[in-house]
Chain A
């Protein structure tokens, strides 16, 4: 970290994309466009980025979608060329914008190792030397002479990943590699990161996962609208990023007033009764449920369900279950308070009104969505059940 020569020096980087209103993909259009001047818009994606990555740094780049971080990464990788500014690299750089670049389904696993290796900068002899290690790590020994198209997607990812971690260069860039693959694969990734960190490998990591940033990065940078918002301590960068996300979601909520004519309505608030759609793990969420036009003799109970975006039913609570008897009027409001000890993610509320016979009178199917964001409270699984430890 205290090396004199940084691994990467980025100086005043700018990138503009010129977007024609309609992309000229035929000569005729171009001819037409020359005579009838077509408006072109210039989109500034990066606007003066300056930073350095030291040798041995584990450097995190975070930002919301469209912040310019992918463009920055592609410029570092040499895929895009900057409109202005410079990137100076001390050492060879291998980017993993995607694992298994150039994989050909018609080739055998073995041939693909050499093909992918060549694209990452290793010739046949060098790949030969690490071939056995790659195969062992991927645990694909018996399948190497089969065509890649006969591999399962999990096997393909395993092979690609083994090549990626064996074919090392001085500077490595990873773009959202953790987003692919199952949990076991992600754990394997994290193990490798752990090792890189211990070995002082220079790594640049682009990710949405603040936990990874907090855990591995010794420096991080938050990019928003093509500019650096914060750079330095990964913890404060991660916090700032979560803040940025929360703000954005709240803005969406404010602009998203419900205009359906069902009898039921629901809105989410935080503890301070501020309308909110994003909560930290463990935070209290208050759901205000309103109804009108439900005749008192017909309505017997009201139920609230929480579904995960992926469909899992987290909980279903009913005023009848809770033995909460309300004097049901034609019009009214009721509030329910949850402690959100549930895993981070996006959730949807389903609110229902029931008749005495248990039939649904009305249901708010498209109930409000809310998201739960990581906090310091940690556990694994979907729900953090109320619990306590006792010494014996």
Chain B
């Protein structure tokens, strides 16, 4: 395969491992932070949501339900935000060497993926404490994360190419992510929304993924796309991902020729 030949694999590997080695430079706990960070974030959220607002009592295994959503959203945020700036932040490489430009975007997404894996480790431990037992359905979780990964990478490609020309992109994307966080029903169970309102949430393709992850990973009471819609509607998120991916491919390919001179 042309895109993952020996040379590109070597570059990808070194870039990801550099990123990982450099990330926790100078911290005493080092890599442990990639596990501790989601753990503490979760502890705070759980305390605020259950003890203060009393949300989630009606949902079995709510801690796992909540944490899966948070972890998935954090992954999406990291992959797109870091990915958006990846081309510009590797400007010195791009101006001096002819590595395939898509590699820097992929490398940042893979770094986010590794963080996701570590976070998921925390989730699994918590799930076991919460009384969940491993089941076949869990195998679907990585598959849906793969779908999320593809979506995040496609967006990262568009953003990173646009960011070279317009630095506004990062601010706009931050605002969209802020809105998206609430439009993705991360903190509150979707059940709390009126049945008609629930349908609107699925306009956001991420909701399908997060709800499916929760369905297979935490509780079958998670509201899913396929419990609300039937027929061709069920393809909606996949069509969106496909379209975004196509745009990303064409746009990035066209723009990447001029990265070196535009950065």
Contact = CB atoms under 8 A, between A and B. Distances in A.
A25 B171 CA distance: 13
Contact of B22 (A24, A81, A95, A106): A106
B14 A74 contact: no
Contacts of B165: 24-25
Contacts of A204: none
Given A24-B166, A74-B260, A107 B21 contact: yes
A118 B257 CA distance: 22
Interface in B1-45: 6-7, 9-11, 13-15, 17-18, 21-22, 25
Interface string A88-123: 000000010110011010110001001101111111
Contacts of A118: 7, 10-11, 13-15
**Interface majority SS on A: helix, strand, loop or mixed?**
loop
Contacts of A81: 257-258
B168 interface: yes
24 contacts: A17-B261, A24-B165, A27-B166, A79-B94, A79-B97, A81-B257, A81-B258, A101-B93, A101-B96, A102-B93, A102-B97, A104-B18, A107-B21, A111-B17, A114-B14, A118-B11, A118-B13, A118-B15, A119-B93, A122-B10, A123-B6, A123-B10, A123-B13, A124-B13
A17, A74, A119, A124 pick with most chain B CB within 10 angstroms = A119
Given A26-B166, A101-B93, A123-B6, 8 more contacts: A97-B97, A101-B92, A106-B21, A107-B18, A107-B22, A115-B14, A117-B10, A119-B11
Contacts of A24: 165-166
A5 interface: no
Contacts of A27: 166, 168
Contacts of A124: 10, 13-14
Nearest to A122: B10
B168 A26 contact: yes
Interface of A: 17, 24-28, 30, 74, 77-81, 95, 97-98, 101-102, 104, 106-107, 111, 114-115, 117-124
Nearest to A82: B257
B93 to A, nearest CB: 5
B98 interface: yes
Nearest to A127: B10
Contacts of B97: 77, 79, 95, 97, 101-102, 119-120
Contacts of B257: 81
Contacts of B11: 118-119
A123 B7 contact: yes
B98 A104 contact: no
Contacts of B121: none
A81 B257 CA distance: 6
A104 B94 CA distance: 15
